[in-house]
Structure 1
Amino acid sequence: MMRSTRRGLIALGTAGIAMRARAQETRYPERAVTIVVPAAPGGGGDFTARLLGDALTRSLGQAFVVENRVGGSGNVASIAVARAAPDGYTLLLAYSGTHVANPALFPNLAWDPVRSFAPVALVLRAPHVIVVKKDLPVRDLADLVAYARRHPGKLNYASSGAGTIQHIGGEQLAQLIGAPMVHVPYRGAGPAMNDLVAGTMDLMITTPPAVVGLVRDGSIRALAMASRARHPMLPDVPTAAEAGLPGFELEAWFGIYAPAGTLAPVVERLSAAIRRVTEMPEFRRRSEESGTYPAYMNPAELAAFTASELATWSDLIRRLDIKAE
């Protein structure tokens, strides 16, 4: 009799949890949701969070507020969300340059990209383009490869800082070419691009919006997209594979994660809302104007993608001996 009663209580408890989860799914969100961004206003992550937040506010009827948490190369924001209540009201707008690169760049992190978070949805991807100063004696990527091999260690490339995706991409390019290049880290992409235009730097790998105007007016030259497809902002620029260097792809991405332990119905409701938003023509138009493109993944797909990206970037960073500042 006691066993039967205990089984009944367990069944009631399980049913109660399921009922609470369904009730929370139905009501969520009941108040404002905070999207924490590991970067200052004005960058790609901030743009993504605000574009997504505005659309979700209209779709779900509650405010999605962006909070910029700068510091620690993105670690401050990741820690804040990892330690937040797992109720769906504090979310992380994760950037690949920190989310899957920092574990290899910083020992003893206080957060883990897999164990600390519940994947919600991949939102946008951002391809990169190889650009050179206008008077570098190369006309295309094949010329650059030949020039680098004839002058090993002579070419320098700029990045927005040590350990950034631009730094990693530069070292990956040098490895594929088979000739070393000199890395020159800057404090931000703006100063790096200024020196490329001035001719102090030879090369940079960055996102299209930062260079479209400069390419069009002849201030710099675009050689190839480090992606699988050409970009609508630079339709005449071939992919690296088309230009003779298959295997060189460099795409950043932005995704939404909740603290680990967030109820599955909340994650699923939020993910479904993000899917609907990313399919809207206005969202696609605005993202493409920024140089990105919608690339929705559901929670299960994002979980597998996160694990794969973590392994890929960790191996690359260790193999190339890349260090953070």
Structure 2
Amino acid sequence: MSQRNRWLGLTLALASSVVMAQAYPTKPIKLLVPFAAGGTTDIIARVIAEPLGKELGQVVVVENRGGGGGAIGALETARQKPDGYNLGIATLSSMATNPAINPKTPYDPIKDFTPIINIAATPNVIAVNPKFPATDYKSFEAYLKKNPGKYSYGSSGTGGVQHMLMELYKSLTQIDMVHVPYRGAGPALNDAVAGQIPMVLDNLPSALPFIKDKRLVAIAVAAPQRLAVLPDVPTFKEVGLEQVNRMAFYGILGPKGMPKELVDKINAATRKALQDPAVRKRIEDTGSLVVANSPEEFAAELKNELAVYKEVVAKQKLTLD
């Protein structure tokens, strides 16, 4: 192919991409949540879906596809056409912790997706059923050390952020607990409230309503500082476990190969939706912080988190077994 033909081909491709972005969207958009309904990922997705749809001029339909610590839903998004009509919610579990611990993860979190925007970041919290014998951090740790292997905790699934953070916590404190994986945070929370399991490590937004209603008791939070909504609950840093003090994130991505014009259009629409005080309040009321960054910043964040958790897995010798 001559240089002139190559140049012509690139020009036509660029023009086609621009035209497609200008026309987009012409039909409803699917936003896939890689966890069951009721968890924080689902909450954030449903908060942003309606205002995002209004900005884009088409309905944004939220669908849930749980399992595999977010891997099943993420894989479905990765397999779609990069036309902007099949988007997914990116989480710390699906993009970092799960791929870091599971060598058989069926996608590459960096190469198989197009990062669009990080919507929000949120703390994590260890919470226990009110009937658990210890309801403050000091007694919680002491009691578990006196009863190795006796108690279990629930998580959103094997390889998810809740699983990885609690396993990191266990390795640092030498506490022995049994992991009970669920198909999402919602079912794990429900069982903890019902007393089927004694505790969970969950994202704050989905756990907070149960904590406020005194159906769960917060023990410690993974956050940079104490939270206004839980002023009496220490951070992991305060109790000497700064390594566990990492926030979760909830972003939007698409399959690899999405045209930049589409990415920029979705990013701009999401950012505009997040400028609405009512939308921001709904997100902040869950305990999350609005991020609303650029595609490039979100891509860098994904790479950094994956690197961090790969190092955690290597240092702590964590496996799926």
TM-score past 0.5 threshold: yes
* 1:276 equivalent in alignment to 2:272: yes
1:115 is displaced (CA, Å) by 0.9
Whole-Å separation in 2 of the counterparts to 1:215 and 1:8: 66
Query: Residue by residue, what CA displacement relative to the aligned partner does 1:200-232 show, whole Å, maximum 9, x if unpaired?
Result: 755432233454455456554323221113334
Residue 54 (structure 1) shift: 0.6
1:260 Cα deviation after fit: 0.9
User: Which one-letter code corresponds to 1:84 in the other structure?
Assistant: Q
Q: Identify if the C-alpha distance between structure 1 residues 82 and 214 changes in structure 2 by more than 3 Å, giving closer, same or farther.
A: closer
CA contact (8 A) 2:128 2:135 kept: no
Distance 1:11 1:315, change over 3 A: same
Residue pair 2:219, 2:233 contacting (<8 A) in 1 also: yes
> Percent identity between the aligned chains?
31
Q: 1:263 to 1:46 in 2, by over 3 A?
A: same
Match for residue 176 of structure 1?
A: 172
CA distance in structure 2 between the aligned counterparts of 1:245 and 1:9, rounded to whole angstroms? 60
Q: C-alpha separation between the residues in 2 aligned to 1:96 and 1:112?
A: 14
Residues 140 and 243, structure 1, Cα contact 8 Å, conserved in 2: no
Alpha-carbon distance, 1:263 to partner: 0.7
CA contact (8 A) 1:141 1:244 kept: no
Structure 2 CA distance for partners of 1:262 and 1:187, relative to 1, 3 Å: closer
Matches within 5 A, 1:1-325: 6-134=2-130, 138=134, 140-148=136-144, 151=146, 153=148, 156-160=151-155, 161-177=157-173, 179-185=174-180, 187=182, 189=185, 192-193=188-189, 196=192, 203-212=199-208, 214-216=210-212, 218=214, 220-318=216-314, 319-323=316-320
Mapped partners of 2:189, 2:84: distance in 1: 39
The alignment's TM-score, normalised by the length of structure 2, stands at 0.84
CA distance in 1, matches of 2:194, 2:32: 36
Letter in 1 for 2:112: S
Output the aligned Cα RMSD: 3.0
Judge which range, 253-262 or 151-160, deviates more: 151-160
C-alpha distance in structure 2 between counterparts of 1:218 and 1:43, whole Å: 18
For residues 218 and 120 of structure 1, do their structure 2 counterparts lie closer, same or farther at Cα, with a shift above 3 Å needed? closer
Deviation at 1:30, TM superposition (A): 2.8
Shift of 1:309: 1.3
Q: Distance in 2 between matches of 1:20 and 1:213?
A: 48
Task: Give a deviation string over 1:223-275, Cα, whole Å, max 9, x none.
Answer: 32211133343233232223454332143221111111111111112112212
Bigger radius of gyration among the two: 1
**Equivalent residues of 1:36, 1:77 under 8 A apart:** yes
SS at match of 2:291: strand
CA contact (8 A) 1:208 1:233 kept: no
**Aligned partner letter, 1:122:** N
The letter for the 2-side match of 1:159 is G
Alignment partner of 1:124: what SS? Answer: strand
1:230–1:265 distance in 2 versus 1, CA, 3 Å: same
